[in-house]
Chain A
Amino acid sequence: MITIRTIAYKNLLRKKTRTILTVVGIALSAWVLSSLFGFNRGYESALNKDIDNMGFQIMVTAKGCPYEAATLMLKGGTGLRYMNEDIMKDVLKHQEVKQITPMLMQAVFDPNKGESGGMSAYLGVDPTTIASMKGFLEFKQGAWFTNPEGLEVVMGYEAAELEQREAGDLLLVTPQPGKSVELKVVGILKRTGTQDDGTIFIPLKTLQRLFNNTGKITSIGVKVQKEADIAAFEEKLYQLPDVQVVSLVQVKRTIISLVATARVMVLSIAVIAILIAMIGVINTILMSVYERYQEIGIIKSMGAMPGDVFRLVWIETMILCLVGGVIGNAAAVALAQATDVLIKRLLPYTPTGSIVQIDATLFAVTTAIIVGVGILSGLYPAWKASRVRPLEAIRGEVS
């Protein structure tokens, strides 16, 4: 039995090129919308993950430029200034502190990296606290240090891959020209998708000794008690001489506000894309209604009610939007990784991990939005078609 849906479907197939072009337009809008929503969700969750994976909420560094301090935390850059280890006692006095871990970042020019050399960076960590602070780290081979002052090294997966190291191998560190030291690789970490993948961890005391920086650190990671007021605690830490306090909440807020501007722009583009698609749909359906003016008149003269004609045209619109929406969303999911790479190239800072996350819910929501827009777009052409007067239409008089 022929239903209104079948007729609507067949009508769309009568002008295949036009239907395909309209679907492509809708699909593009759905793609932009889905990718934008996916970015909205993915960026914040990747940033949160990066921050959670650091294992601490506050970082205390020597006084300097706060942006450089943020880079030090998020990109694992080199330390700008050193602090005395004694400062740890002052930090520990505060009741808000759950645990602290001192760190020393050292970078050295390595003449054997590439044609003209390059920098090698090492992170000195406290073997007694790092394991509990970064409890999410798992080992591919080996384990943490066996000796807090030993000539040992733990490597992130990518650092180990670059150096082709495995547990038990040796790694040559050259703190000063002509003075190289052999360290034993005791552990290779599993991939984390964070900066730890590229980090070479050395026991703090060992790194201090190798680089003649005994008693010096570049930062202290502070894990605060759950109920602590982080903002108030930051103020207290600022009372310490010559330190700078960088809260990850603060860093997150700054980054999110920087990215918000870009997001508003992209959102505007998405809205424009949807409007263009909406106009395209109205245009396509209206043209189709005008082309079938006489046909609609005949259908009505045969007993079709205005509601039937309205539904017929409306269903055509919905089919177009549903197909376009599904194709566009599927493209967004399939190309999410490519979008991810593109956005990462465009933005000055992006967290590690996937920043465009499109799941089934988002797929459904975006498709629903596109179909909703389609339903609205179809109202006028459907109303126009339902108002066709049979006699005038059959005579070929288009009002």
Chain B
Amino acid sequence: MKTILVFLLMIFGSHSAYAAVGCDLNDPDRDVKRLFPGSTGYKTQYVSIDKKGGAALLARIEQRLGDKFQGLFETIDVPYTVYEVYRGTQRIGYIHGVNQKGKFGGIQVFLSLDLNGVIRAFYFQKLTSREAAKLRAKQFGDQFIGLSLKEFASYDVAAGTGAGRIAAIANPAPGADTDFRASLRAVKKNLILMDEFVFSAR
């Protein structure tokens, strides 16, 4: 009887909570094919820092990023969507996106990565900026191809400076420096999260 009561209390005592909003592809069927030409399918995985490692993992990610998670929405419980991309039965890479605060609105940066975590494509799903067209231009995104976390480790988020190929990434819109730097922060954060969620675990 006691067990039944505890069981009933557990059921009625629980209440729903609103989860934080993650970053999903708007049209995964279309976008995965575009970001990974030659792919035939994908699997979706939902991961959060909270569930994967909690406060300790958050501290490690912040330390690697060189910046704290900020504001109302960059929180430990944000669900991240990792798209595992396949050609037939063979896994060929990953697609992962993050939300980032921009000057005038939210920025969503997606990266497609090969199995070693090297960037194959860069994609702004959402970007609100007067200079959006310049930042969305192919030339800007192409500067990230071939880079990985190894190179981005040198990027200082606070100062907005990096070494080697990172230092060579040109801002096509000097008037939108905040959004340019926000984009680089998003890429570094994206790569660190993928390393924690997928590559290190593997």
- Interface residue ranges, A against B (CB under 8 Å): 110-115, 140-141, 158, 160-166, 169-172, 180, 182, 188, 191, 326, 330, 333-334, 337, 354, 359-360, 363
Number of contacts between A and B (CB, 8 Å)? 73
A–B pairs, 13, beta carbons within 8 Å: A112-B126, A112-B128, A113-B126, A160-B72, A161-B20, A161-B21, A161-B72, A164-B99, A172-B104, A172-B128, A330-B7, A330-B11, A363-B8
> Closest Cβ of chain B: how far from A59's Cβ, in Å?
28
- The residue in chain B whose Cβ has the minimal distance to the Cβ of A182 is B104
Q: Whose C-beta in chain A lies nearest to the C-beta of B31?
A: A115
B interface, how many residues as a size bin? 20 to 34
Closest B residue, CB atoms, query A336: B16
> B96: CB under 8 A from chain A?
no
> Looking at chain A's contact residues, is the secondary structure mostly helix, strand, loop, or mixed?
mixed
Residue on A with the closest CB to B99? Answer: A164
In whole Å, how far is A49's beta carbon from the nearest beta carbon of chain B? Answer: 15
Contacts of A188 in B (CB 8 A): 72
Given A112-B105, A163-B106, A354-B16, 15 other A-B residues pairs in contact with their CB atoms under 8 A? A114-B125, A115-B31, A115-B125, A161-B73, A162-B21, A164-B105, A164-B107, A170-B103, A170-B104, A180-B130, A188-B72, A191-B18, A330-B7, A360-B8, A363-B8
A141-B130 contact, Cβ under 8 Å, with A330-B7, A333-B11: no
Contact A164–B103 (Cβ < 8 Å): no
B109 to chain A, nearest CB (A): 12
Q: What is the minimal beta-carbon distance from B18 to any residue of chain A, in angstroms?
A: 6
Residues of B contacting A326 in the complex (Cβ-Cβ under 8 angstroms): 4
Interchain CB contact under 8 A, B104 and A171 = yes
B63 proximity list for chain A (CB < 8 A): none
- B26 touching A164 by the CB < 8 A rule? no
The answer for the CA separation of A189 and B185 in the assembled complex, in Å, is 28
B56 to chain A, nearest CB (A): 25
CB neighbours of B164 from chain A (8 A): none
**A172, B129: Cβ atoms closer than 8 Å:** yes
B101 within 8 A of A: yes
Give Cα A169–Cα B99 distance, bound, in whole angstroms: 16
Taking CB as reference atom, which chain A residue is nearest B123?
Answer: A115
Bound form: Cα–Cα A360–B9 in Å: 9
Q: Is the CB of B16 within 8 A of A337?
A: yes
Q: Are A112 and B72 in contact (CB under 8 A)?
A: no
